[in-house]
Structure 1
Amino acid sequence: MIVVMKVGSPEAEVARICQEFAEWGLTPEKIVGKHKVVVGLVGDTAALDPLQLQEISPWIEQVLRVEQPFKRASREFRHGEPSDVVVPTPNGPVVFGEHQPIVTIAGPCSVENEEMIVDTARRVRAAGAKFLRGGAYKPRTSPYSFQGHGESALELLAAAREASGLGIITEVMDTADVAKVAEVADILQVGARNMQNFALLKKVGAQGKPVFLKRGMSATIDEWLMAAEYVLAAGNANVILCERGIRTFDRRYARNTLDLSVLPVLRTLTHLPIAIDPSHGTGKAEYVPAMAMAAVAAGADALMIEVHPNPAKALSDGPQSLTPERFDRLMQELAVVGKAVDRWPELELAIA
C-alpha cells in the first residue's frame, strides 16, 4: 500500500503519519520524488480501508494498494518514479538509472593474475567503462573447472582499482564471504545460479553495498523480481537487475537466449535500474556487439561486457570475451546509438 502526500506537505506532518503507521505495526518507508513524497506501507494491510486511511491527515492526497506480489520492487511502490542507484568510486560517484547515462561494466570472467587484471582495467577505463568486472569466486558447472583464486583475487581487484580508478563489481557465492567481498567490491554481484539462494539474498540485503542481481537461467520475471524483493526487504534499497540470457530449447548457435523484451516489460513493473549482459546472453564474442547495441537502443541502463587480453587462453568464458581492441571499437559504435537516444556519457580522460 502507498500513501501519496500532497505537494508541499510539511516534513513534520509526514513524520507524524509515519509514526502513526509504525504504531499500527506497519513499516513505513518514505520515498522522496521530484514533486511529491510517497510513504510505502509494508506489512499486513489487507484489512485497511484506503478511504479511511486518507482521513487521518488533510495532507494525504491518495491511498493506493500495490497489487504486485513484489511490493518494494514494484514501480507502484514509488508512485511510478524510477529509482537511481548511486555508487561511490575512486573516480567519483556513478549513477545507474532510467534517466541517467548508460554505465558500462567490463573486464574478464575471472581474475587470473595481477598483470592481466590491472592491464585490462586500464584498457577498459580508457575506452569509457566505469566499472571493472572480474570473478574472484566462480560458480562452475563442472567441479573440475577453474573456480577462481578466491580471497587472493580480491586483493588483485583492489590493486586494479588503485591503478585505474574504476569501481569494482565481483560475485559473492557464499554467505560466509559477504563481508570480505564487501570490503573490496563497490557492487556485490549475485549470479544466475544463486538468484534464489534466499539466505545469500538476505545477507547481501543486510549490508550496505549495492547489489547486482542476475536473472536465473530458467527464472520467470516474477521470480526474478521476488528475488530482488528479498534484498529490498532486508533493508538494501540499491538493487540493479541484470538480464544475462535464459536457457531455451535451441543452444546450438548461442549459449543462451538474450531476452531483450525484459526491458520494456520491466519498465512497467519495477523502478529498479536494468542492466544487460550480452556476453553470457550469447556466449559468442562475435554476437556481443550487435546485442549490446540493441540493448542500448531498447533502453538498457547499463551493460556488462567480458573483455580479456587473450581470450584463447582465458581460464573461463574465453569464447564470449572481446579483446581490448574490439572493446574499444564497440564503445565507439555504442556511442552512436547511445547519443541517438540521449543516454551516452561524455568520455573522460583515462588515468595514464
Structure 2
Amino acid sequence: MLFILKHGVDYSTLNEKLKESSASYKFLDLYGKKIVIAWPDAYVENITDPSIEIAVKPKRPFQLASNEWKKEPTEVDVKGVKIGGDKVVVAAGPCAVEDEEQVLTVAKAVKRAGASLLRGGAFKPRTSPYSFQGLGEKGLQILRKVGDEVGLPVVSEIMDTRQIDMFKKYVDMLQIGARNAQNFDLLKVAGQSGLPVLLKRGMGNTVEEWILTSEYILSEGNGNVVLCERGIRTFEKATRFTIDIGGMVAAKLQTHLPICADPSHPAGKRELVHSLALASVAAGADMLLIEVHPHPEKALSDSEQQLTPESFEVLMNRIKALTNALGRTA
C-alpha cells in the first residue's frame, strides 16, 4: 500500500498509527513526493490521517515501479542525458575494456555516429574462471578518462557490494548485470548510491520478477532506474539468448520506468544485432546498449557479437530513420 503524503505537515500521528498496525513500512522521498510504502495491505488499508493526500493500493505486486500511482513516464537523467523521453538513447562501447587506445578509438567513433553514453566492462562476470575477467579498477579509470576526453557519460557493470565506493569515483551510471539481477544486497546498495541504475533482466526471470528487482532500488529512495531486456534462456539455439520483445512491451505497459534493450547479448552474432536493435526500437525501447570494438575478431570477450565502428555507424543511421518514422529522435 502506498500513501502519498502532503508536503510540510506533521507525520508523527501517521507514524504512530503505522506502528500500532504492526505493518512493515518505510518513509521515502521519491520523484519529489513524500511517500510511505507499507505492507501487508490488510494491516493498513483502513488507516486515515490528515497528512495523507492519496492512498493507493496497487493491484500489481510491484508497487513503486507501477504506473498505477505514477502515471507520467519517468525520465532518468545521466549527467544531462535524458532516458525515457522522445529521444532513443544509445549507449555503445566495448564488451570489455582492454586498454586505453581501444576504448578511445571506440568512444570517438560511437560519439561521432550519435551515441550518447559510453559503455564498457571493467569487471567481467564470465562463465569460466579461466576467461578474461576484466582490468578491474584500471578499467574504470580508463573509462572515466576517455569519457571525460570525448564528452560521454560512462556506464559500467558492478559485481559486488564492496565495489560501490570505487564505482562512485568513476562511473555516471551503474549497471546490474543479468547474473546479479537477483543479488538483493547489491540492488539495495545500488539504490543507496544515488547513481542512476541500468537494471538488466536475469536470463531466467519472468517479467514480474524483473520488475520486482527494481523495487529493491526504488525502495531505497532512488527513482533513477532503467529496465534492460537482454534476452532470456530458452530452448532456441539459433541465437545466443532469446530477446523477449513481448516481455519488454509488457514491462513498458505496466511501469513508469524507461526500458532499454541490449540486442548484442541475445544475438550472439554481429549479423543479427542490427535487426534486433531495430525491432526493439520499433517496439518502444527508450534506450539501446550495443557492443562495439575496433577489431572484434581480436576481442578478449564476446568477439562474435561486437560490431565494428563502421557497422555501428550504419546501424545508427538506420535507427535515426526508424525513430523519425515513429515520431521520435535518436
Q: Which residue, out of 91, 102, 109, partners 1:116?
A: 102
State yes or no: 1:65 paired with 2:61.
no
Q: Which residue, out of 9, 16, 23, partners 2:9?
A: 16
Counterpart for residue 85 of structure 1: 76
- When structure 1 is superposed on structure 2, of 202-211 and 106-115 the one drifting more is 202-211
Distance 2:240 2:289 in 1: 16
Counterpart for residue 291 of structure 2: 306
Unaligned runs of 5+ in 2: 19-24
Counterpart for residue 350 of structure 1: none
Q: Give, as a single letter, the amino acid of the residue that structure 1 aligns with 2:284.
A: G
Distance 1:281 1:48 in 2: 43
Q: Contact 1:21 / 1:28 at 8 angstroms: preserved in 2?
A: no
Q: Contact 2:2 / 2:38 at 8 angstroms: preserved in 1?
A: no
Over the residues paired in the alignment, what is the CA RMSD in angstroms? 2.1
Q: Contact 1:18 / 1:28 at 8 angstroms: preserved in 2?
A: no
- CA 1:95–1:172: 2 relative to 1, 3 Å: same
Counterpart for residue 275 of structure 2: 290
Partner SS for 2:44 = coil
Counterpart for residue 166 of structure 2: 180
Q: Which residue, out of 230, 234, 240, partners 2:226?
A: 240
Q: Contact 2:31 / 2:223 at 8 angstroms: preserved in 1?
A: no
Partner SS for 2:96 = coil
Q: Contact 1:73 / 1:229 at 8 angstroms: preserved in 2?
A: yes
Counterpart for residue 10 of structure 1: none
Q: Contact 1:2 / 1:39 at 8 angstroms: preserved in 2?
A: no
Q: Contact 2:94 / 2:119 at 8 angstroms: preserved in 1?
A: yes
Counterpart for residue 192 of structure 1: 178
**After the TM superposition, which residues 1-352 of structure 1 pair with which residues of structure 2 at under 5 Å, given as runs?**
1-3=1-3, 14-16=7-9, 20-25=13-18, 26-29=25-28, 40-44=35-39, 45-49=41-45, 53=48, 56=50, 60=53, 63-78=55-70, 80-88=71-79, 93-97=80-84, 99-251=85-237, 253-345=238-330
Could you tell me how far 1:318 is from its partner in structure 2? 1.1
Unaligned runs of 5+ in 1: 6-12, 346-352
Q: Contact 1:175 / 1:200 at 8 angstroms: preserved in 2?
A: yes
Counterpart for residue 21 of structure 2: none
- CA 1:43–1:122: 2 relative to 1, 3 Å: same
Distance 1:29 1:236 in 2: 9
Distance 1:258 1:143 in 2: 26
Q: Give, as a single letter, the amino acid of the residue that structure 2 aligns with 1:337.
A: L
TM-score (norm 2): 0.91
Distance 2:192 2:30 in 1: 19
Number of equivalent positions: 323
Distance 1:194 1:4 in 2: 31
Aligned-residue sequence identity (percent) comes to: 44
Q: Contact 2:157 / 2:176 at 8 angstroms: preserved in 1?
A: yes
Q: Contact 1:171 / 1:189 at 8 angstroms: preserved in 2?
A: yes
